[in-house]
Amino acid sequence: MLYNNIIAAIGNTPVVKVDDVPYYYAKLEGLNPFGSIKDRAAAYAIRCGYEQQLIHERTRIVESSSGNFAIALAAVCQLYGNPFTCVVDPHLTPLNREILESFDANIVVAETADNNGSYLTNRLEIVAQMVTELPDLFWVNQYDSANIRRAYYETIGSELITDFEKNDYLFMPISTCGSIAGLSTKLKEYYHDIQIIAVDIEGSKIFDQNTYHKRSIPGMGASIIPGNLPYARIDEYIQCRQLNAKRVYAYRKTSFFLECGVRTDDRVSPQPGA
Ligand SMILES: Cc1ncc(COP(=O)(O)O)c(C=O)c1O
């Protein structure tokens, strides 16, 4: 395959059969150029920002993320030549810091945790302050963005309906709920009986606001109810134990060489995340 630039190489990830009965497939989003499904949202959000004239060459892009979205945005912004600030929590992993710095990202650390040990509230406050004080700034806002929901509807959603004539279930890890919102909308248009199963993690507040469990797996769970959630057409949700998620990941990786989500082993934070 020939591509004119690395952004064009995002998406069209392979789908691999994992089990025969029932047929169960994994889409290898970890094989996107910057390492996760979030590459799709970052590339789409910045392109739409330009098309909608919310971004021009000197606009600083800002986002609250310490993980995969920050990495994807940092890479995409560097390719577009836009400065990028990511607001992170103090538990940013050394590897993620190194990757972000290699893409010239400006890193701002939120220092104040809420009662649940999460820094998300403080991170969003910092972003809101930057938006009011600094001129020519664009906040991507991954927790509530029509462009991001549409990114998944149009990219991974279109890829899956091309690959499968029939589809009974989608199991989707959730955090900001942007991907499940776009994907569930697309898949329900094509597979009328499909069941959409959201896979959340213990300690997440998406479906259980009273939980106080610390989370260490990036890319699953959230400490707020994301604005994207009402757009997701979820039939059922599973709250997975963190230990089980790590065990399944390790099993898939050693038994099938599968990198299904992200190269999580390198990026697991020892401390709670967003
Ligand atoms: C690798 C990976 N998969 C899935 C998700 C969940 O996607 P969303 O934030 O759209 O719910 C994330 C979120 O960070 C992620 O990093």
Domain extent listing, the chain? 6-33+149-264, 40-139
Q: Which amino acid is at 21?
A: V
Residue nearest to atom 12 of ligand 1 (CA): 219
Question: In angstroms, rounded to a whole number, what is the distance separating the alpha carbons of residues 81 and 74?
Answer: 10
Residue 118: what pLDDT?
82
Atom of ligand 1 nearest to the CA of 181: 10
Residue nearest to atom 2 of ligand 1 (CA): 219
Give the pTM.
0.91
Report the length, in residues, of the chain: 274
Residue 147: what pLDDT?
98
Residue 79: what pLDDT?
97
CATH of 6-33+149-264, one of 3.20.20.60, 3.40.640.10, 3.10.150.10, 3.40.50.1100: 3.40.50.1100
Compute the distance from residue 131 Cα to the ligand 1 centre, in Å: 25
Instruction: Look at residue 164 and give its three-state secondary structure.
Output: coil
Residue 143: what pLDDT?
96
Compute the distance from residue 177 Cα to the ligand 1 centre, in Å: 8
Compute the distance from residue 208 Cα to the ligand 1 centre, in Å: 18
Compute the distance from residue 175 Cα to the ligand 1 centre, in Å: 6
Question: In angstroms, rounded to a whole number, what is the distance separating the alpha carbons of residues 50 and 142?
Answer: 17
Residue 94: what pLDDT?
94
Show Cβ contacts of residue 255 under 8 Å, excluding neighbours closer than 6 positions: none
Atom of ligand 1 nearest to the CA of 68: 16
Which amino acids bring their CB within 6 angstroms of ligand 1?
Answer: 36-38, 67-69, 173-180, 218-219, 261-262
Residue nearest to atom 13 of ligand 1 (CA): 219
Compute the distance from residue 143 Cα to the ligand 1 centre, in Å: 11
Tokens of 2: 């020939």
Tokens of 175: 């955090």
Please report, in tens digits, the pLDDT of each residue of the chain (274 residues total).
899 999 999 999 999 998 777 788 999 999 999 999 999 999 999 999 999 999 999 999 999 998 999 999 999 999 999 999 999 999 899 999 999 999 999 999 999 987 777 888 899 999 999 999 999 999 999 999 999 999 999 999 999 999 999 999 999 999 999 999 999 999 999 999 999 999 999 889 999 988 877 777 777 899 899 999 999 999 999 988 877 777 776 666 666 555 554 444 433 333 434 4
40-139 has CATH 3.40.50.1100 classification: yes
Say yes or no: do domains 6-33+149-264 and 40-139 share a fold: yes
**DSSP sequence for 31-79:** GSTTSSTHHHHHHHHHHHHHHTTS--TTPEEEEE-SSHHHHHHHHHHHH
For residue 100, give the H/E element and its range: helix 94-102
Question: In angstroms, rounded to a whole number, what is the distance separating the alpha carbons of residues 195 and 190?
Answer: 12
Q: Which amino acid is at 170?
A: L
Residue 252: what pLDDT?
64
Compute the distance from residue 146 Cα to the ligand 1 centre, in Å: 16
195-201 and 169-173 as β-strands: parallel, antiparallel, unpaired? Answer: parallel
Question: In angstroms, rounded to a whole number, what is the distance separating the alpha carbons of residues 91 and 93?
Answer: 6
